[in-house]
Amino acid sequence: MLELSDIRVSRQGRDILTLGQLTLATNEMTVILGHNGSGKSTLMKLLARQLLPDEGQLKLRGQDFSAYSQRMLAREIAFLPQQLPVVAGMTVQDLVLQGRYPWRGLLSRLTVEDRSYAQEAMAQTDVLKYADQMTDLLSGGERQRAWVAMLLAQQSPLLLLDEPTSALDLSHQYELMSLLYELNRDTGRGVVVILHDINLAMRYADRVLALKQGVLACDGTPAQLLCEHTLSNLYGIDIRLCAHPGRDEVVAVVA
């Protein structure tokens, strides 16, 4: 479990994130929603220990974050930021093998086990056929799957992804979310992902955390968030729910 208590993050004298008590299960598919500037990325960076709160405490498995070295934490949590590093000249296999760093160190040689985990991760994400190709020459969707493979090779039980669908076209957004959903179900790894698309969240999330102006506006299942008033208030626009033709679900549309 990830536990956050009495969190406050401030910038230039203004609170940009305030949370009381929040607990995240490390085996669920959790989506963080909210408008730009609502505190989504700030929360994600706290969970990945890329940012320290001005006040409050974070715990993982009952231990304070400060008790974990960077390598120890990386064995528990794998983080994919919104702005990905440049990987020019790096093959997909080389990229995926970077996920083994927490287990082998920077200068240690790769082992048979390391390569086996990388092969398995590439197979799970359907990029094994691109193993010897340059990562920066792949399509957007293929490249995102390669980065997810790197997270899987890290063998961390919790995956954090900050807006992984933002640069993808619609079909690749659904493909990536389907992949993350299947990985969660098949491997038991927890997934926490920031999204902008309400309908993606409704289809794939077990739990939705909705932030507005730095505070938690809604916390529950997708069904609990499916309220026109709640969604309209969250985004500040008129949102209507409509029945999906041919599916037993509803979709949110701007009125």
Identify which of 218, 230, 231, 226 has the alpha carbon closest to the alpha carbon of residue 244. 226
Average confidence (pLDDT) over 149-166: 92
Q: Give the position of tokens 């920031």.
A: 194
Name 242's bridge partners.
251
CA–CA gap between residue 206 and residue 140 (Å, rounded)? 26
Would the pLDDT of 80 be above 80? yes
CA–CA gap between residue 56 and residue 201 (Å, rounded)? 28
Would the pLDDT of 255 be above 60? no
Contact yes or no for 80/167 (Cβ under 8 A): no
Residue 27's identity, in one-letter code, is N
Q: Which residue has the higher pLDDT, 252 or 122?
A: 122
Evaluate if pTM is beyond 0.85. yes
pLDDT band with cut points at 50, 70 and 90 for residue 106 = low
CA–CA gap between residue 118 and residue 124 (Å, rounded)? 10
CA–CA gap between residue 31 and residue 184 (Å, rounded)? 13
Our CA angle for 78, 190, 32, nearest 5°, is 85
Report pLDDT for 223: 86
Superfamily for domain range 2-86+155-254: P-loop containing nucleotide triphosphate hydrolases (3.40.50.300)
Q: Domains of the chain: which residue ranges? A: 2-86+155-254
